[in-house]
Structure 1
């Protein structure tokens, strides 16, 4: 590499990581629009969950075929990109295979990278067939039409291009290494169990042409990685990064255990206390009284729920397991998460356009993105939470939005309103007077 190449590389690297840093700041800013929730208890269990679920992929293997393919792609992404460190150093200083001094260890690393690259290509091809030829039901639902479906394929094409460039780069490099007497600064280093079969493609080409192709493959590979890194912000594959904090901050309470509003709980306890004066004005702690009961927009959700929205992989396991969806109802837990993320992004763009301040846009998550029909279709069975491979809870968002409909708008469906009226008047969900409740004993 010439000094000009080094300078161009520094500029490329600066732009790539600069854009990535800017996008990460936006994500953090948007997530922090959510309300406060404490999720730092039981740190030991949280670290274990992150290690087992995010790093160990323990929930993915519940479906062995998809799980195994995903692990291959995941390992390929993580391990092959260790090579990125060497590329960056070589690009900055004009060296060639700077870690070659590791000897046998280096050969083993390069060989493992190549085998993984080949396995990734096989796995990606299988994923493409599942999505576009077999058309599995959870990948062909209406909530994936348009950009989400295209995004899934774009990622697969990205992987193919990056892995192919990696192998071509190694194959051309190997060809130059094998030239008798050596060629330029191409020292003999590495082991190439896959690209050795590609290397004959360069036979008959001049050394200068192979050298040029090597540089082209190298530049395209690093540029592709930087583009992919920044595309994550716009893609469902943001979970590659966010799965780790998402599993760490996931809810540790038993599934089915719902949270209560402290202000409402205290009010109910006072009403049930026979010694309490119902006419006495209870002291009000403003910090305990929410500005709004439940959630109608993304700012009403807590920050973990917004993190969930950004982390969603759009895999559809939640929707495939949802009994409401299976029976033909409108609810799709995957759509709940996608809609929440889309609205959060819209709010973020509003803040960007108005110099850091959100200007009301007469829109909200409720009604403009998610309809009451979807929310009331939910059976609150927790199947979506159980199925999610990275501990996302669509149910928590559904329940908070239901809470808003009931407590702020009195907009519950008629059967639920009737039940609550019966509880208020009769002390039970049924439409029987309390004095008649035990009449069945005399029958």
Structure 2
């Protein structure tokens, strides 16, 4: 990432230097009333006007040569830069726009329910609605990037790595291992590894890795309080929380990997429809006792 940032910075410095050189020579030729450049008077530019003394001693032909060279190098540099973007972390420059267009319109505090779980609860409460041929769900949550939605993957590539999410995250600020910025970078790293795997083998070959455990640890997922601070702060409407929630669902519902207190609560909710261990038919018994 550091070398990538250096390449981009050098590109930008070179392109800006060429742009200023082009503008300075252009306005210099306008002031000389050169026939080819005096038809469209632009006036002096704020910064490039200070560069006029560098070219005042050159002949018209020499200044034109410098102006044309700067113009061509600048436009070629732009095309090189655009071709480099898809392979750099600055891909977000392109993807930020579609990511904002496909932004989630539901309230930020709303966590998407799992239809399979919703249906199971519904059928438990109203068995007559359960279809006779209902197939069990293949899996719960997400363990790898293949299980995430296209929107989650677009988020990963749209991340600007600005760190606002981590700066606002209470878990990060209190010294926990969790960093929403790292969640997005880990997801993108896993996607890149999958891409290289497919490129090398023609199709994806199991590499013994998954996003959960190998890239994002259990401790990181458990540190999240789902406060939505990271979602609120993101300038391009990325939701690290969705990835965290999906991974945590897989962790708990597929692997039963949770603290004992969580497992007891989840078991009570599943069997008694409440976090506490009592018969749901006796919920109103306290009314008779009082």
Partner deviation per Cα, 1:131-184 (whole Å, 9 max, x = no partner): xxxxxxxxxxxxxxxx1x45445434433322221110121233334446x37x
- Match among 299, 320, 331 for residue 146 of structure 2: 299
TM-score normalised by L of structure 1: 0.58
Query: Within 2, Cα distance between the matches of 1:331 and 1:178?
Result: 60
TM-score normalised by L of structure 2: 0.86
Deviation at 1:370, TM superposition (A): 0.8
Query: Within 1, Cα distance between the matches of 2:131 and 2:37?
Result: 84
1:283 is aligned to 2:133: yes
Deviation at 1:347, TM superposition (A): 1.1
Query: Within 1, Cα distance between the matches of 2:273 and 2:37?
Result: 84
Partner deviation per Cα, 1:370-429 (whole Å, 9 max, x = no partner): 111111110011110011111100000000001111111111223211222344566543
State the number of aligned residues. 287
1:393 alignment partner in structure 2: 239
Structure 2 unaligned blocks of 5 or more: none
Query: Within 2, Cα distance between the matches of 1:171 and 1:436?
Result: 82
Q: Is the 8 A contact 2:27 2:43 kept in 1?
A: no
Deviation at 1:254, TM superposition (A): 1.5
Q: Secondary structure at the match of 1:253?
A: coil
1:202 is aligned to 2:52: no
Q: Is the 8 A contact 2:144 2:210 kept in 1?
A: yes
- Match among 166, 191, 194 for residue 344 of structure 1: 191
- Match among 225, 229, 235 for residue 88 of structure 2: 235
Query: Within 1, Cα distance between the matches of 2:246 and 2:64?
Result: 60
1:421 alignment partner in structure 2: 267
What does residue range 43-62 of structure 1 map to in structure 2 within 5 Å?
none
Q: Quickly say closer, same or farther: Cα 1:150–1:322, change in 2 above 3 A.
A: farther
What does residue range 430-441 of structure 1 map to in structure 2 within 5 Å?
430=276
2:163 alignment partner in structure 1: 316
1:25 alignment partner in structure 2: none
1:193 is aligned to 2:39: no
Deviation at 1:246, TM superposition (A): 1.0
Query: Within 2, Cα distance between the matches of 1:373 and 1:442?
Result: 44
Q: Is the 8 A contact 2:268 2:276 kept in 1?
A: yes
Query: Within 2, Cα distance between the matches of 1:290 and 1:427?
Result: 21
Structure 1 unaligned blocks of 5 or more: 1-146
1:381 is aligned to 2:234: no
What does residue range 15-414 of structure 1 map to in structure 2 within 5 Å?
147=1, 149-179=2-32, 182=34, 185-189=36-40, 190-194=42-46, 195-273=48-126, 276=128, 282-284=132-134, 290-355=137-202, 357-414=203-260
RMSD: 2.9
Deviation at 1:283, TM superposition (A): 1.5
Query: Within 2, Cα distance between the matches of 1:341 and 1:167?
Result: 36
Larger RCO (CA under 8 A, 6+ residues apart): 1
Query: Within 1, Cα distance between the matches of 2:115 and 2:147?
Result: 16
Q: Quickly say closer, same or farther: Cα 1:427–1:259, change in 2 above 3 A.
A: closer
Partner deviation per Cα, 1:92-127 (whole Å, 9 max, x = no partner): xxxxxxxxxxxxxxxxxxxxxxxxxxxxxxxxxxxx
Deviation at 1:317, TM superposition (A): 0.6
Query: Within 2, Cα distance between the matches of 1:292 and 1:328?
Result: 33
Deviation at 1:250, TM superposition (A): 1.7
Query: Within 1, Cα distance between the matches of 2:218 and 2:66?
Result: 58
Deviation at 1:351, TM superposition (A): 1.8
Partner deviation per Cα, 1:344-385 (whole Å, 9 max, x = no partner): 122112222233x22222111111211111111100111100
Query: Within 2, Cα distance between the matches of 1:377 and 1:392?
Result: 19
Q: Quickly say closer, same or farther: Cα 1:152–1:442, change in 2 above 3 A.
A: farther
Query: Within 2, Cα distance between the matches of 1:268 and 1:425?
Result: 10
